[in-house]
Amino acid sequence: MSALSTVLTLVMHATVLLVFWVPWTWQLLALAAGSYLLRMWAITAGYHRYFSHRAFKTSRAFQLVLGVLGTTAMQNGPLWWSSWHRRHHRYSDTARDAHSPVQRGFWHAHIGWFLDGSHDHPSLANVRDLARYPELRFLDRHKWLPLIAYAGAMYWLAGFPGLVWGFFVSTIACLQVTMCINSLAHVWGSRRFDTPDDSRNNALLALLTLGEGWHNNHHHDMNSARQGLRWWELDVTYASLWLLEKLGVIWELRRPSERGPLRRRAARLPEGAPAPDGTSL
């Protein structure tokens, strides 16, 4: 993240204080909640399960919709996000993991790595499957355009109060909760599977992230679109993807593997090498 981007991110956090001057109403709270849920879904369904893990297939048009919506969440473009996430799985909780609380502590894993400027320009060798689309490269280069457009939409809907609650508050809430998966989901919760990292299942995080909190399940079988494996493990994102598959918007939705995941220490693979299932990780 450039110095300018870092400053703007910090300013965005400060704008949340405007809630003390812009009183809430039920309509504004509904706008904030809807804005949060839309963009959290875009991160979980789009940036994570589609772009990072290719857990389903879809059309190029809907791929672009997922990319644009994800970019409005102020978490950089889909190539940047996916590249770092694939590295996270390759080197999870080792010295080469960019955001491991086991290695560098909670705050670095939560947001320090995102702000320190050293992770701005990752090699895109591990996302060649995505980088071949010029529209996705455009989103990465011009990541602020969808964000500004989204802010404008919130202002158009409800004026300055809509900007505060529907954009500033919901954007920072979405960012902070997403970052909790990097930090808290590797130190707080239960472990169903003996994975090589410290990933954990956490019901509260799963509720807040539409299913991402079943993080140990995910690290056990990372290419599955379904992360809540038990009937009581709420996974709203997977339910929405199941519906989209029924409607024909997406297809080849990956379910948990009956063979079990391919267990290997990904750090032993060379950078940019394809994983055994053909996805570059």
The pLDDT tens digits for 42-82 are 999 999 999 999 999 999 999 999 999 999 999 999 999 99
Structural domain of residue 168, as residue ranges?
Answer: 3-12+29-257
Residue 238 has pLDDT above 90, yes or no: yes
Residues 189, 91 contacting (CB under 8 angstroms): no
Tell whether 57 is covered by a domain.
yes
Torsional sign, CA 56, 61, 65, 67? positive
Residues 1, 112 contacting (CB under 8 angstroms): no
Tell whether 71 is covered by a domain.
yes
Tell me the C-alpha distance between 160 and 167, whole Å.
10
Report, as an integer, the average pLDDT of 171-188. Answer: 97
Torsional sign, CA 45, 227, 187, 268? negative
Query: Which class for 63: exposed (0-12), middle (13-18), buried (19 or more C-beta within 10 A)?
Result: buried
Q: Which two tokens stand for residue 68?
A: 């644009």
Tell whether 51 is covered by a domain.
yes
Domain count for the chain: 1
> Which residues on adjacent β-strands are paired with residue 274?
280
Q: Which two tokens stand for residue 59?
A: 């059309």
**Average pLDDT of the chain to the nearest whole number:** 90
Tell whether 271 is covered by a domain.
no
Report, as an integer, the average pLDDT of 35-45. Answer: 98
Tell me the C-alpha distance between 122 and 99, whole Å.
14
| Contacts with 33 (C-beta within 8 Å, 6 or more apart), sequence order | 170
Parallel, antiparallel, or unpaired for β 57-58 and 250-251? Answer: antiparallel
Report, as an integer, the average pLDDT of 176-200. Answer: 96
Q: What is the pLDDT of residue 2?
A: 59
Q: What is the pLDDT of residue 244?
A: 98
Tell whether 249 is covered by a domain.
yes
Q: Which two tokens stand for residue 1?
A: 């993240």
Tell whether 17 is covered by a domain.
no
Residue type at position 215: H
Tell whether 273 is covered by a domain.
no
How many CB atoms are located within 10 Å of the residue 124 CB?
Answer: 16
Q: Angle at CA 112, nearest 5°, toward 270 and 15?
A: 135
Q: What percent of the chain has pLDDT over 90?
A: 81
Which run of H or of E encompasses 58?
strand 57-58
Tell whether 277 is covered by a domain.
no
Residue 210 has pLDDT above 50, yes or no: yes
